[in-house]
Amino acid sequence: MFEGLSNKLQDCFKKLRGQAYLTEGNITEALREIRLALLDADVNYQVVKDFIDTVGKECLGHKVLRSVTPGQQVIKVVHDHLVSLMGSDKADLVFGSSPTVVMMVGLHGSGKTTSSAKLAARLRKANKKVLLVAADVYRPAAIDQLEVLGAQIGVPVYLDRGCVQVEKIARDAKEHAKREGFEVMIIDTAGRFQIDEDMVRELAMVSQLTAPKETLLVADAALGQEAVSVAEHFHKALGLTGVILTKLDGDARGGAALSIRKVTGCPIKFVGVGEKVEDFEVFHPDRMASRILGMGDIVSLVERAADEIDAEEAELLEKKLRANKFDLNDFLGQLRQMKKMGGVESILRMLPGGQQALDGAHMDTKQFVYLEAAICSMTAAERENPEIISPSRRKRIAKGAGVDGEQVNTLLKQFFLMKKMMGKSSLVNNILAGAGLPTRRNLARGPNRVKKKERRKKKR
């Protein structure tokens, strides 16, 4: 979502890095470009004005102008104020006495039902007993959608298909949650195409009956400044405690994320980064600021890896690396692990400079799909011993996978090159050391080597 803004800001900073020292002139020019980049990203005009004024005063201060690395100092100032703009720290959910009620509100099509299920899945993973409540009686498929999502994530759904009174559903659901010992109750309310009196009155009644600890606005990031306006209206009517921004994986310009906290005072608590239930992240202002400035987000990448990578598979791969028995089954496993983590593009974007590398390489991520198809088209024996794959077998594999014979040849060349590199002890030692695992050299210095030394001494 922030790709356009990120590229423009990085172009601006490149010019500053090249300066031996900073002057009022080149800082003013840089601030002008930053202002234009933020306005182009659909950030609220007043927010941009305040941001540039604050950054400008600090950048023209004695500390920055006399710094050894003035360009880096300016980037740090911009980073710090971006973090401040979006909220200095992450905003956690607030829990009260059971059941803690979380009310999801928003306009029609913003993603309330999906976000309700995503939040429920996250809380269930944290060992909370969660109940979903289907309180959208106006959209025909809303109840069915929540029921399907609830079954998918293993969370029960309270529904009353025969009832059209939202207040009654909410009241009965809370009594049911108390009776059954649920810790959290998430109410999926109905949306409208625009805010109207009936909608506000109904939501206010539900809020009065259930006394929610959290009232979260689900806002579509693609709305830009309209999302900020919607947040203001809901906040005045219901007293929001936080915001969930959806569709951050789309091509929105990012203005809502940078404006909503400053304008409404409501923190962004979660962001939706895809359509799957697991595509749901806690919003960290500092990490988002780092992504925008092209510094990557290593912490989020490590957390995602910890959640998605199977520890047993990783241990098995480590043993195979040591024994130089890496085969196409392992290669396929690594491709699938990357897919779980969001794919190569998603991983690269979280690495410092990864976006520029991605733009420069013009990477075709479809190639990974073809590689997976080709490996799946092989027999078990061929995957374990790729050396037996003859030209006739290559033709059969290509036909079975629906790819060109040249793509199968390229796959095998890349695999053999990778295996050759992994066979070199120095590379394997680097990989193992980076993972905090014993290296071959260290393994060689085990008990057996000590015994050999003792035997030699005795002979002497």
Amino acid present at 61: G
pLDDT of residue 317: 57
Distance CA 435, CA 124 (A): 30
Amino acid present at 196: D
pLDDT of residue 460: 58
Could you tell me the CATH superfamily of domain 100-295? P-loop containing nucleotide triphosphate hydrolases (3.40.50.300)
Distance CA 424, CA 433 (A): 14
**Does the pTM exceed 0.85?**
no
Q: What is the pLDDT of residues 1-41, one digit of tens each?
A: 566 677 777 777 777 766 666 677 777 888 888 888 888 87
Which residues neighbour 251 within 8 Å (Cβ) at sequence distance 6 or greater?
1, 222
| 3-state DSSP assignment of residue 389 | coil
Element (H or E) spanning 194, and its range? none
pLDDT of residue 368: 72
Distance CA 77, CA 91 (A): 23
Alpha-carbon torsion, ordered 204, 134, 157, 216, to 10 deg: -50
Strands 268-272 and 242-246: parallel
Distance CA 3, CA 250 (A): 10
Q: What is the pLDDT of residues 296-339, one digit of tens each?
A: 444 455 555 555 555 565 566 556 655 666 778 777 777 777 66
Tokens 């699938």 appear where? 336
- What are 240's two structure tokens? 């929001």
pLDDT of residue 63: 61
| 3-state DSSP assignment of residue 75 | helix
Tokens 């609830």 appear where? 150
Residues in the chain: 460
Q: Where are the beta strands (DSSP E) in 61-125?
A: 100-105
| 3-state DSSP assignment of residue 188 | strand
User: H helices of 326-424, where?
Assistant: 328-340, 343-349, 354-361, 366-376, 380-384, 391-401, 405-423
Which residues of the chain register pLDDT less than 50?
296-299, 354, 357-358, 360-362, 425-428, 430-450
Domain boundaries, the chain: 3-86, 100-295, 305-423
pLDDT of residue 361: 47
Q: In CATH, what number does 3-86 get?
A: 1.20.120.140
Chain centroid to CA 133: 26
Q: In CATH, what number does 305-423 get?
A: 1.10.260.30
Whether 186 and 133 have beta carbons less than 8 Å apart is answered as: yes
